[in-house]
Amino acid sequence: MTEWEYAKQIIDTINQSGGEAYIVGGAVRDYVLGNLPDDIDLATSLFPEEVMALFPKSVPTGIEHGTVTVIIDHHPFEVTTFRSEGTYSDARRPDHVSLGVSLEEDMLRRDFTMNAMAFHDGQVVDLFGGQNDLEQKIIRTVGSPYERFGEDALRIMRAFRFMSQLDFSLEEELRDAASALGQKLEQIAMERVAIEFEKMMCGPAYRKALSEMVELGIHRFLPNVSTELVNRVLHDVRTPVNAVSAWALFLYHAKDENWLLPWKRSNAIKREAAILAALFESELDPMHIYSTSESILSTYFNMHGMEDRSRELKQSLAIRTRKELGFDGRDALELGARGAMIKYLLADLEKQVVLEQIPNDSTILREEAKKWLQREGVY
Ligand code: ATP
Ligand code: MG
């Protein structure tokens, strides 16, 4: 069964028990655009307890805002009770959400017209002209952009993110409101801003979105993003293909190893972005190939639009890991090395083997080790 068929099955079950249910949000937008959605979200008139009673496998994943995850044949679907949002006193989170409202009210709380459509029984429910805006390739808020960005400034980042992903334009009043209210982004949790920024950078029209961001002055409210830095990223021939490569581009041009810190990304992203940025300078010398994972090497080729030679390059090395070196810590101890010296000796031998200055042969490595220890004054 396809994802749509599973979703239809959930809708049918809810309808049979007297409730309303629709496919909503990004999945409807993608369907109208003729794209296959990543995941399908549903909205229903039933309350979370009623949804859980209907589906034996369901988990209350976001019960305070009405969300239950229904699992069918191991496929998860978020089913959320129609809800409206109260006032936003901090531009971040609604003060309260109300369940048990109409579909129309649920659509009214959504950010953009293209994201505020519902689908049921082969019909698109389009209350705010979302289909027309999709046709015109325009991003428009549901209602006044000043009000909607004032309620939740993350929507400003989301506008640029969709602009890049879909290669759309921003509606004029939306541009003005983004420019006027950009400063409110400083109140949003950095992790949420960073995720939208990452998605923007990975979209096909990221250059257009990034340029518009600078034109409207929004970059000033993002950490460590100067106009000059953006210009360098825009002129880079490389194209981001994933989050790590997007951050690596900024890191490389910023020439500041701490550039990424205020963005609060995971340690894995920070580490991989730093390795990739260093690779931009190295021209793929054997030591860099050796110390870089195959997946980061593969990202390197993809973002240059080159054929992916990561596997082949890794396989062409004399050794792939320290474990393959014909000499280890025990050998070093036996020859009289002690403490930190062992680490330096192994690193030296490893480098010589990777650079093919000596073969990976234990007899030869032992001789090399003795010479090294002699130079260090051990004998
Ligand atoms: P994607 O395909 O990238 O997941 P999406 O449209 O599904 O895109 P989500 O972030 O998953 O985006 O949000 C799902 C839906 O929830 C959106 O389509 C929109 O209707 C609504 N939504 C999400 N974030 C906001 C927000 N900050 N303000 C108002 N509505 C929002
Ligand atoms: Mg989604």
- Distance (Å) from CA 39 to ligand 2 centroid: 6
- Distance (Å) from CA 333 to ligand 2 centroid: 56
Same domain, 182 and 154: yes
Same domain, 184 and 269: no
- For atom 3 of ligand 1, the residue with the nearest CA is 26
Residue 97, pLDDT score: 80
- Distance (Å) from CA 346 to ligand 1 centroid: 52
Best mutation site among 110, 148, 156 for ligand 1 pocket (most ligand atoms within 8 Å of CB): 110
| CATH code (residue 67) | 3.30.460.10
Same domain, 251 and 285: yes
The total number of structural domains that make up the chain: 4
DSSP string, 43-58: EESS-HHHHHHH-SSE
Could you tell me the two tokens for 131?
């289909």
Domain end point (choices 220, 249, 280): 220
Same domain, 34 and 117: yes
Same domain, 56 and 121: yes
Query: For residue 165, which atom of ligand 1 is closest to its CA?
Result: 3
Same domain, 119 and 189: no
- Distance (Å) from CA 261 to ligand 2 centroid: 27
Sign for the pseudo-dihedral over CA of 260, 222, 219, 225: negative
Angstrom CA distances, 8 to 22, 65, 67, 116, stand at 9, 23, 18, 19
Binding site membership of 45 for ligand 1 (Cβ less than 6 Å): no
Same domain, 203 and 230: no
Beta strands in the chain (DSSP E): 21-24, 41-44, 58-62, 67-72, 75-81, 83-85, 97-99, 117-120, 123-126, 138-139, 169-170
In whole angstroms, what separates CA 37 from the centre of its chain?
Answer: 17
- Which domain covers residue 7, as residue numbers? 1-136
Same domain, 247 and 305: yes
- For atom 4 of ligand 1, the residue with the nearest CA is 26
Binding site membership of 115 for ligand 1 (Cβ less than 6 Å): yes
Domain end point (choices 169, 192, 220): 220
Please, what is the end-to-end C-alpha distance for the chain in angstroms? 73
- Distance (Å) from CA 57 to ligand 2 centroid: 21
Residue 92, pLDDT score: 67
Ligand with smallest separation from the Cα of 198: 1
Best mutation site among 115, 148, 156, 161 for ligand 1 pocket (most ligand atoms within 8 Å of CB): 115
Task: Report whether 233 contacts 253 (CB < 8 A).
Answer: yes
Could you tell me the two tokens for 169?
């334009």
Same domain, 165 and 75: no
Binding site membership of 26 for ligand 1 (Cβ less than 6 Å): yes
Binding site membership of 217 for ligand 1 (Cβ less than 6 Å): no
Same domain, 116 and 152: no
Binding site membership of 272 for ligand 1 (Cβ less than 6 Å): no
- Distance (Å) from CA 247 to ligand 1 centroid: 23
Domain end point (choices 158, 189, 220): 220
- Distance (Å) from CA 117 to ligand 1 centroid: 11
Low-confidence ranges of the chain (pLDDT < 50): none
pTM exceeds cut of 0.85: yes
Residue 221, pLDDT score: 98
Binding site membership of 152 for ligand 1 (Cβ less than 6 Å): yes
Could you tell me the two tokens for 368?
């090399």
Same domain, 327 and 338: yes
Task: Report whether 374 contacts 345 (CB < 8 A).
Answer: no
Same domain, 24 and 118: yes
- Widest Cα–Cα separation across the chain: 88
Binding site membership of 25 for ligand 1 (Cβ less than 6 Å): yes
Binding site membership of 83 for ligand 1 (Cβ less than 6 Å): no
- Distance (Å) from CA 25 to ligand 1 centroid: 6
- For atom 6 of ligand 1, the residue with the nearest CA is 26
